[in-house]
């Protein structure tokens, strides 16, 4: 059972829970961007 990249990122960064799904279109910190690429 694989979940979306957002849920995977939340598992690593609990503070991301408050960020809406639309935030993926906004500029992200380099570390967060690399994390999303890793989980995508």
Q: Which 3-state string (H, E, C) describes 1-40?
A: CCCCHHHHHHHHCHHHHHCCHHHHHCCCCHHHHHHHHHHC
Quick: pLDDT tens for 25-39. 555 555 565 555 555
Residue 18 has pLDDT above 60, yes or no: no
Distances (CA, A) of 13 to 22, 31, 38: 17, 11, 13
pTM above 0.85, yes or no: no
Q: Mean pLDDT in the chain?
A: 58
Percent of the chain at pLDDT exceeding 70: 0
**Residue extents of the structural domains in the chain:** 1-18+28-40
């Amino acid at each position: 059972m694989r979940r979306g990249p957002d849920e995977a990122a939340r598992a690593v960064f609990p503070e991301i829970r408050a960020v809406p799904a639309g935030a993926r279109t906004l500029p992200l910190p380099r570390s967060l961007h690399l994390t999303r690429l890793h989980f995508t």
